[in-house]
Amino acid sequence: MMILLAILPPTVTGVEKAQTFEPPLNTIETTIRINAPADQVWRNLIAFDDLPRSDEWLFRLGVSQPIRAAIDGSGLGALRTCLFSTGTFVERVEGWEENRYFAFSVVSGAPTMQEFSPYNIHPPHLDGYFVPESAEFRLISHTDGTTTLAGKSRYRNAMWPGPYWRLWSDMIIHRIHARVFEHIKRLSEDAPAAKRR
């Protein structure tokens, strides 16, 4: 048993390094019901002001958290920038149906987390093993004047073992979704009545 414990870690590390297959594309979906019409939610979806800083343990440990989003232009091909605590994501609009559907691909990203270390280290989770690829959002209007915001993010994670790391990455993306969606909900529901018509 002791020999197995001594041999297993280097072997597992070698397998991870030797893998040449493309990691699977994973999808995370989050939804929220917002007490505001779709046009108001849309405005706060495509661009939004600063989120309050989170003191949730996940983000205090260094996981990148969203700060604000801005868009240059409108429609297909427009560029959107989303500032995170570790840098800026640049996104190209791939789907645009005003007040109904919004989608983008990730052109360039930022580190997924800030490593707490005095040394200049580059662990796998910071060096391209986690790759966000795209996202899409649907706005579903209801007869009572509320709107359901449904979002999907797609990413690849090459860290091994895949099922273990997917549990963590799925949870992190869902929490990022939840923070942004809750912020959009607050902005949309707090908007002056004149702007919501």
Region 66-84: what's the mean pLDDT? Answer: 95
Would you state the pLDDT for residue 109? 78
Partners of 69 in beta bridges: 48, 82
Per-residue model confidence as pLDDT tens digits over 15-49: 555 555 688 899 999 999 999 999 999 999 999 99
Would you state the pLDDT for residue 64? 85
Nearby residues of 116 by Cβ (< 8 Å), 6 or more positions away: 61, 62
Nearby residues of 119 by Cβ (< 8 Å), 6 or more positions away: none
Q: How confident is the model at residue 118 (pLDDT cuts 50, 70, 90)?
A: very low
Residue 24: phi and psi, rounded to 5, are -65, 155
Q: How confident is the model at residue 117 (pLDDT cuts 50, 70, 90)?
A: very low
Domain ranges of the chain: 22-113+123-191
Is 48 within 8 Å of 186 (Cβ atoms)? no
Identify which has the larger pLDDT, 191 or 173.
173
The pTM of this model reads 0.78
Residue type, 18: A
Q: Which fold has domain 22-113+123-191?
A: Alpha-D-Glucose-1,6-Bisphosphate; Chain A, domain 4 (3.30.530)
Q: Where are the beta strands (DSSP E) in 65-195?
A: 66-72, 79-84, 87-97, 101-108, 130-141, 147-157
Q: How confident is the model at residue 194 (pLDDT cuts 50, 70, 90)?
A: very low
